[in-house]
Structure 1
Amino acid sequence: MTRGIQELSGIGAKAAERLSALGITTVYDLQSYFPFRYEDHSIRRIQEVDHEEKVTLSGTVHSEPELRFFRKQSSRLTVRVLVDGLLVQAIFFNQPYLKKQIELGQVISFHGKLDKNRLAVNGAKLIGKTEGQGLDPVYSLRGDIKMFMLRKWIKQSFDEFPDDIEEILPYQLMQTYKLMDRREAFYRLHFPEKEKAFLQAKRRMIYEELLLFQLKMQVFRKKQRESTHGVTKTLHKDEVQAFIASLPFPLTQAQDRVINEILEDLEGKHRMSRLLQGDVGSGKTVVAAVALYASVLAGYQGALMVPTEILAEQHVESLTELFANTPVRIGFLSGSSKTKERRETLAKLEAHEIDVLIGTHALIQEPVIFANLGLVITDEQHRFGVGQRRVLKEKGLEPDVLFMTATPIPRTLAISAFGDMDVSTIDEMPKGRKVVETHWAKQDMLPRVLTFIEKHLKKGNQAYVITPLIEESEKLDVQNAIELHQQLQMVLTDWNVGLMHGRLHATEKDEVMKQFAQNEVQVLVSTTVVEVGVNVPNATVMVIYDADRFGLAQLHQLRGRVGRGSDQAYCILLADPKSENGKERMQIMTETSNGFELSERDLELRGPGDFFGVKQSGLPELKVADIVEDYRILEIARDDATKLVKSTAFWETDDYRGIREELARQGAFLQDRLD
């Protein structure tokens, strides 16, 4: 695997430099540089082809090719071809040399995209005699490397060094799943001549990729557990149950279930690392309160970190109410805390006169010292960088850690992105909570929508109006927050219309949200910065402009800002979607209010990178597998990885040497993964 790329004949220093830009420095790198997609060059009958579908057709040249040149040395070659009884106009852009290759009466095959009238093929390319029989691999390129050059070098690498690809999977797994040999699988992915062999190769590599990723997760988890024993807490379960019984509302079965999972972790000898996910309004805060109460009774302090000051203040208010008849002492710390107040809070914290400290990222500043930190909870955990979460965790002696999120994460992504954590899910809503009515309106219905907003304002309620952009954009024809704010001020003259967007300073955002929460502002025009957290029970209307530009998960999060009080709430999606995808999203939003169901549909429509944001997602960079399409194999790989890591044979026998070496090559044993 370490044979340098220049050992391949014909690769000199210049070619090696070009290849290094693609991350290819060894022969093995070249052999494992798989295509990112395939073009289907199987010849089709034109009657079977859909509008704007890329397709390979074959027919007889019916007219002499016509070549025209334009400015900037561009050209267009047009030729009519009789395909399955229909005349097709094939247009070849910037390929003037084809004029000499195409002759009247000749049978040719060509690949391109049919336009609306199903007759002209735009952007076509002529298919050679050796092609047109199946899949054509397409590679990601950079610099001045051409596709034909890369394909030639890959073929050479297999001819000259056929043994550079070693088998890494143990015989047992190969037999169990009847997997193709690794070298053969690599070759068939590059040269998919036979469909059956190609599908077997793909299946083998999908399993290998997902197994390696899950093994990395499980190895990391095992090493973490071995190196961090955590603190075993002695819980006063009777008092915890008495606290639960004293709550002014009954817990749902889902809340009971996740509370038991968390309490079991707190008592265990290993440090808790758990993700608590639940839909907006499912009662995560109460679960956090029970966990904090149990930890405090056991003699430890708790920390609750949230992304914004106003959200922190709301948590202080709700937890103060929940802990009213208990000995739990609550402290608050934020960036805007006054010097004297801050000094007093820090002194009380260090003296263990504060049991639960609630605040923003100010909690991770250097002077903040806990006397005995035992539980760390981060709310809306995806809003904090991994480094910030880690600093807070390190302020205690291996404290238990609970991450909370109101973004429902599909099961597939939970297995992938959080495979090194335990996941608790609140998948049940409290009884009596009204479902937000959701309606899809076209843009020409805006006057009726404004009348609807006014009707609710007259009742004393409030409204959100959400727009995708801050300022006007030439590229996107969308309503922007600043212009929309000005328009609504002129229309809704009897009410105060506020404005919030991402370019405001944090203190300005907090001030606008406070005004809205206190009903000093009745209509809040905002970008998606209101997506997280703040509770305004009086807000009953959510209007989302250009709703088709948002994903389902984001639309659901925005919808969750209303319906937090006793009055019926409404969400109106203003959109004239041109794409089928956009129409489907609008329909799905009006049909279901279940966040987990929506998240699964969103994942199918958008893919994992767009759902999470690739950089913060923790998702693997997969070459062959797709965690959405291949979720069944993902679950099998996770189960296999869990069993392997727990077995002695995996760590010690020769059967698993290849896979251990591959994991070591990928850095799985370096302990450098962040939480």
Structure 2
Amino acid sequence: MNRRVSDTPPPPANSVLAPLLAGIESLQGVKPATAKLLARVAGGGRVIDLLFHLPESVVDRRYRPALRAVETGRVCTLLVTIMRVVPPAPGGGRGRRPWRVVVSDGTAEAELVFFSPHQVRRLEAGQDIAVSGTLERFGERLSMAHPDYLVLQARLAEIPLLDPVWPLTAGLFPSQVRSAIRAAFAVFPALPEWQDASVLAQRKWPGFEQALRTLHRPCDFPELMEGEALVGASERARARLACDDLLAQQVSMAQARRLNRLRPGRSIVSDGSLRAVALSRFGHEPTTAQTRTLAEIDADLAAPRQMTRLLQGDVGAGKTLVALLAMLGAVEAGHQAALMAPTEILARQHLATFEKLSPVPVAFLSGSVKGKARRAALASIADGTARMVIGTHALFQESVVFEDLALAVIDEQHRFGVEQRAMLGEKGHQTDVLVMTATPIPRSLLLTQWGDMLVSRLDVKPAGRKPVRTSLHALSAMDDLLAGLERALARGARIFWVCPLVSESETVDIAAAEARHHALAAHFGPDAVGLAHGQQDIALREQAIADFAAGRTRILVATTVIEVGVDIPDATVMVIEHAERFGLAQLHQLRGRVGRGQAESYCLLLHDSALGQTARRRLALLRETEDGFLIADEDFRLRGGGDLTGRRQSGLPDLRLASPLHVDMLLRLAAQDARRLVDTPPEKTPPALRARRQAVSLLLELFARAQAVRAIRAG
């Protein structure tokens, strides 16, 4: 979330970082309205946030040809004389007719074309000017439409030969960014070096300020004007800044890890009596992976420190059984345990499973539980009568008081905000936290690398789960697809049809679902097709899903509301429309809604006919594997992995300057350096490392890394 300029906290007056931590509006020549726009595009209102807003490319304006020998179609800078200014020809549509300025350098003539008279009114024949832009040839005529720069030749130095291009927002112009950046460097303080000197020398990385200057103001370095020198210098500068970003995060994670090791917990040891009853009702032996992960959880519960563990399990791996057995262990020891799910559908699915297997009663709490039932549930949770509790976001509301919450289980943890996850754990005293996800986290982003969360993986699926046959189909072949679905329905199939993700607007997505529902109902009959989406009344949506589960409807058109928490073993076909618009992990989750019974199951990925090479490769990977961890790795490289220490749940993992490639290349280096900085005992710390520790404290301030511990505790 972008911080408003007015929200920027004032920096400590005596801090060397004060000029960089000050608000952008403090820069000379930057007006308050411009500062707000800069803060919006930079993602923060501090001067350092502006400097972290790196250019996305550089326009090379060094090409200065004679017009007679110019290579058209590329950016060039010309030194020319104005021969004449030609106003628009008279007639209607004056605003659409261009002004033409005929120029010459003595070797040939060219035209400068303007559709706005603003710049032209200052021009007159005989002026010597410099222009920079893209020159095109139309027949025998050379033409440059709306030059990027036009100045008198005496001011040629104002045209940057290497011209950075920054991402902008509405109302913000490159000249304003350029001016603010220049003002920011004018107040840049001298900072100590926090990177290891041997790493800087080995990789030929520049200092922190020089790296920023290289990217924002390459013209400050004459040595970059020759040949391809800028390319290598820019790559080294970006790598150095990416390592700064990673080092700041890794140090904050190492500090969180160290503090968590010192945080006392309580030892929870179970006798297995309630678990034995649950397993007998389950009727199957746990998989080797379930047995292993439960042993890991039990060891954490028994240790005299708080547990924070992630349970990763691919679709259908059996996470719910492990969660139930872990919670029963807490109950056996005389405490309470709670499970929080992100939707009522998923919470009630867990409730149904727990009620079948649990030898102790299970309380339920959600937003739909009201009146007398709600008061009874709250009372039983508060007095400890309810030892097992399942619910939604309602569990962390202020009115919910636990008698002795010892274990909090959070399902589909990525669907909750950091604050929400933390609030549930804080309902108890020294509460152990187990978070679960069926969306595998990429190996390069496991929290064992980023913080203090241990990871258990359910990498073996229960026996009997059949693979889902996945295929790709162009939307242009819709008639053939519908004919194939008719044959499948004749064989007794039930079909999910997930509508395309049109935009970030749920309203737009629902409109697409309703249109597809109407079309399929017209084709297959209105009684055969149901509809489920997130804006429906929950009773209506659950009725639509129940009708589909019971076979009263044969096709269920839905948005991604069915991504988790829907378990219908008789559903055997999943159709995903415009699959290229979804993330790979989400497609994998949706595919997991079928293949839950004994019948052969299919997933049909519908895509645009004009599918790009990258999109085709993504969908082909899904066709070739059901390994959710492999899919998650690829998804991270393409989309980013989310924010593990803050509140952002998508995009790069709370990194300002490090790309996925930088993460792969530099994460290990930064993690090892962070451990050395944080974990080396004072008596074994050499002077150079002690100095770097002081410098790293400045690095943490620059990257706003002060609040990592609570976020890591929340999962």
TM-score range with shorter-chain normalisation?
Answer: 0.7 to 0.9
- One-letter code of the match for 1:232? S
**Residue in structure 1 matched with residue 206 of structure 2 by the alignment:** 180
Q: How does 1:288-307 map to 2 (within 5 A)?
A: 288-307=323-342
The answer to whether the Cα contact below 8 Å between 1:230 and 1:399 also exists between their aligned partners in 2 is yes
Q: Does 1:616 align with 2:652?
A: no
Aligned partner (choices 667, 680, 692) of residue 634 of structure 1: 667
- One-letter code of the match for 2:579? A
Report SS of the residue matched to 1:630: helix
Q: How does 1:45-444 map to 2 (within 5 A)?
A: 56=75, 71-72=94-95, 75=98, 110-111=133-134, 125=148, 135-141=162-168, 146-148=173-175, 150-152=177-179, 154-155=181-182, 158=185, 163-169=189-195, 171=197, 174=200, 179-192=205-218, 193=221, 194=224, 195=230, 196-226=232-262, 228-236=263-271, 248-323=283-358, 327-337=359-369, 339-415=371-447, 419-444=451-476
Distance 1:540 1:322, change over 3 A: same
- One-letter code of the match for 1:265? D
Q: Does 1:599 align with 2:632?
A: yes
Structure 1 residue 422: Cα displacement: 2.9
The worse-fitting range, judged by mean Cα deviation, of 603-612 and 577-586 is 603-612
- One-letter code of the match for 2:695? G
The answer to whether the Cα contact below 8 Å between 1:111 and 1:126 also exists between their aligned partners in 2 is no
User: Partners of 2:455 and 2:121 in 1: how far apart?
Assistant: 59
**Residue in structure 2 matched with residue 657 of structure 1 by the alignment:** 694
**Residue in structure 2 matched with residue 510 of structure 1 by the alignment:** 542
Distance 1:146 1:452, change over 3 A: closer
Distance 1:609 1:376, change over 3 A: closer
Distance 1:232 1:152, change over 3 A: same
Structure 1 residue 244: Cα displacement: 6.7
Aligned partner (choices 472, 482, 498) of residue 514 of structure 2: 482
The worse-fitting range, judged by mean Cα deviation, of 426-435 and 500-509 is 426-435
Report SS of the residue matched to 1:615: coil
**Residue in structure 2 matched with residue 572 of structure 1 by the alignment:** 604
CA deviations 1:622-654 (Å, max 9, x no partner) are 443213443221232123223422223489934
User: Partners of 1:212 and 1:121 in 2: how far apart?
Assistant: 46
User: Partners of 2:511 and 2:473 in 1: how far apart?
Assistant: 15
The answer to whether the Cα contact below 8 Å between 2:585 and 2:631 also exists between their aligned partners in 1 is yes
Structure 1 residue 452: Cα displacement: 2.8
The answer to whether the Cα contact below 8 Å between 1:273 and 1:422 also exists between their aligned partners in 2 is yes
**Residue in structure 1 matched with residue 487 of structure 2 by the alignment:** 455
User: Partners of 2:397 and 2:600 in 1: how far apart?
Assistant: 42
The worse-fitting range, judged by mean Cα deviation, of 340-349 and 188-197 is 340-349
The answer to whether the Cα contact below 8 Å between 2:287 and 2:460 also exists between their aligned partners in 1 is yes
- One-letter code of the match for 2:174? M
- One-letter code of the match for 1:138? V
**Residue in structure 2 matched with residue 47 of structure 1 by the alignment:** none
Report SS of the residue matched to 2:660: coil
Structure 1 residue 464: Cα displacement: 0.9
Q: Does 1:35 align with 2:54?
A: yes
Structure 1 residue 544: Cα displacement: 1.8
The answer to whether the Cα contact below 8 Å between 1:281 and 1:429 also exists between their aligned partners in 2 is yes
User: Partners of 1:166 and 1:519 in 2: how far apart?
Assistant: 69
Distance 1:148 1:133, change over 3 A: closer
Structure 1 residue 110: Cα displacement: 4.3
User: Partners of 1:171 and 1:203 in 2: how far apart?
Assistant: 15
Structure 1 residue 18: Cα displacement: 3.3
Structure 1 residue 112: Cα displacement: 8.3
User: Partners of 1:251 and 1:76 in 2: how far apart?
Assistant: 79
The answer to whether the Cα contact below 8 Å between 1:40 and 1:55 also exists between their aligned partners in 2 is no
Structure 1 residue 582: Cα displacement: 3.6
User: Partners of 2:183 and 2:308 in 1: how far apart?
Assistant: 48
CA deviations 1:40-71 (Å, max 9, x no partner) are 42879xxxxxxxx995468999xx99978565
**Residue in structure 2 matched with residue 50 of structure 1 by the alignment:** none
User: Partners of 2:701 and 2:690 in 1: how far apart?
Assistant: 16
The answer to whether the Cα contact below 8 Å between 2:21 and 2:702 also exists between their aligned partners in 1 is no
User: Partners of 1:477 and 1:366 in 2: how far apart?
Assistant: 33
The answer to whether the Cα contact below 8 Å between 1:68 and 1:77 also exists between their aligned partners in 2 is yes
- One-letter code of the match for 1:22? L
The answer to whether the Cα contact below 8 Å between 1:541 and 1:562 also exists between their aligned partners in 2 is yes
Distance 1:173 1:546, change over 3 A: closer
User: Partners of 1:595 and 1:66 in 2: how far apart?
Assistant: 65
User: Partners of 1:502 and 1:568 in 2: how far apart?
Assistant: 29
CA deviations 1:144-188 (Å, max 9, x no partner) are 664345435644665x55644443446576567664322332322
Distance 1:109 1:89, change over 3 A: same
TM-score, normalised to structure 1's length? 0.80
**Residue in structure 1 matched with residue 5 of structure 2 by the alignment:** none
**Residue in structure 1 matched with residue 4 of structure 2 by the alignment:** none
User: Partners of 2:446 and 2:338 in 1: how far apart?
Assistant: 25
The answer to whether the Cα contact below 8 Å between 2:251 and 2:674 also exists between their aligned partners in 1 is yes
- One-letter code of the match for 2:387? D
**Residue in structure 1 matched with residue 677 of structure 2 by the alignment:** 644
User: Partners of 2:137 and 2:632 in 1: how far apart?
Assistant: 34
Identity in percent: 34
Structure 1 residue 655: Cα displacement: 3.6
Q: Where in structure 2 are there 5+ consecutive unaligned residues?
A: 1-16, 64-71, 105-109, 225-229
TM-score, normalised to structure 2's length? 0.76
- One-letter code of the match for 1:190? H
Q: Where in structure 1 are there 5+ consecutive unaligned residues?
A: 45-52, 82-87
User: Partners of 2:412 and 2:418 in 1: how far apart?
Assistant: 13
Q: Does 1:464 align with 2:464?
A: no
Aligned length: 651
- One-letter code of the match for 1:272? M
User: Partners of 1:493 and 1:122 in 2: how far apart?
Assistant: 57
RMSD: 4.9
User: Partners of 2:665 and 2:477 in 1: how far apart?
Assistant: 44
The answer to whether the Cα contact below 8 Å between 2:406 and 2:429 also exists between their aligned partners in 1 is yes
Structure 1 residue 138: Cα displacement: 2.1
Distance 1:642 1:66, change over 3 A: farther
Distance 1:60 1:281, change over 3 A: farther
User: Partners of 2:470 and 2:646 in 1: how far apart?
Assistant: 26
Report SS of the residue matched to 1:653: helix
Structure 1 residue 455: Cα displacement: 3.0
CA deviations 1:319-348 (Å, max 9, x no partner) are 34444xxx4443333344465554554444
**Residue in structure 1 matched with residue 621 of structure 2 by the alignment:** 588
User: Partners of 1:14 and 1:135 in 2: how far apart?
Assistant: 23
User: Partners of 2:437 and 2:552 in 1: how far apart?
Assistant: 29
User: Partners of 1:6 and 1:397 in 2: how far apart?
Assistant: 39
The answer to whether the Cα contact below 8 Å between 1:215 and 1:641 also exists between their aligned partners in 2 is yes
Distance 1:445 1:306, change over 3 A: same
Distance 1:286 1:17, change over 3 A: same
User: Partners of 2:644 and 2:256 in 1: how far apart?
Assistant: 25
